[in-house]
């Protein structure tokens, strides 16, 4: 998604990168904490996340390279699948944890997140 978004210009790319970073940061922190709780060494956790960052960077480059000049409908389909994957990840892993910790405010926090994403998308266009 990052590579494909870079094809569309600076504002869109910046918003997409910020959104992807913000959506992945809590998931990464939660996962790292879970691995540490299970007894994984810090070096293993850093190596694993470093590898994931490297693969993500290579994937962004491939997306940018392979989709340059691609049909806008194909690019839109890739973006829709990526958005669905992010939403599925949030619903599957983060919503239950958020509800467990902040039952009364989980919905308000989720709506606030969507409003921030909407605002960022309007600022980038």
pLDDT in tens, 37-63: 999 998 998 899 889 889 988 988 898
Contact 100, 19 (CB under 8 A): no
* Look-up of token digits 């983060």: 94
**pTM to 2 decimal places:** 0.60
DSSP 8-state class, residue 110: H
Percentage of residues of the chain with pLDDT beyond 70: 92
DSSP 8-state class, residue 90: I
Task: Give the pLDDT score at 40.
Answer: 92
Task: Give the pLDDT score at 83.
Answer: 83
pLDDT tens-digit series, residues 71-81: 989 888 888 89
Task: Give the pLDDT score at 91.
Answer: 80
Answer whether residue 120 shows pLDDT above 90: no
What end-to-end distance do the CA atoms of the chain give, in Å?
Answer: 17
* Look-up of token digits 């039952």: 103
Please give the Cα distance from 48 to 122 (Å, whole number): 35
Nearest Cα residue to 49 out of 68, 30, 63, 62: 30
Average pLDDT for residues 89-94, to the nearest whole number?
78
Please give the Cα distance from 96 to 114 (Å, whole number): 17
Domain boundaries, the chain: 2-124
For 31, the token pair is: 């996962």
In the structure, what pLDDT confidence band is assigned to residue 85 with cuts at 50, 70 and 90?
confident
Task: Give the pLDDT score at 92.
Answer: 82
């Amino acid at each position: 998604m990052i590579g494909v978004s870079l094809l569309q210009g600076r504002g869109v790319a910046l918003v997409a990168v910020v959104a992807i970073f913000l959506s992945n940061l809590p998931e990464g922190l939660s996962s790292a904490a879970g691995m540490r709780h299970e007894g994984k060494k810090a070096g293993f956790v850093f190596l694993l996340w470093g590898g994931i960052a490297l693969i993500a960077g290579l994937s962004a480059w491939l997306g940018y390279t392979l989709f340059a000049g691609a049909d806008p409908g194909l690019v839109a389909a890739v973006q829709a699948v990526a958005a669905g994957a992010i939403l599925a990840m949030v619903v599957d892993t983060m919503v239950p944890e958020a509800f467990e910790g902040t039952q009364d405010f989980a919905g308000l926090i989720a709506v606030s997140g969507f409003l921030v994403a909407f605002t960022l998308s309007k600022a980038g266009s």
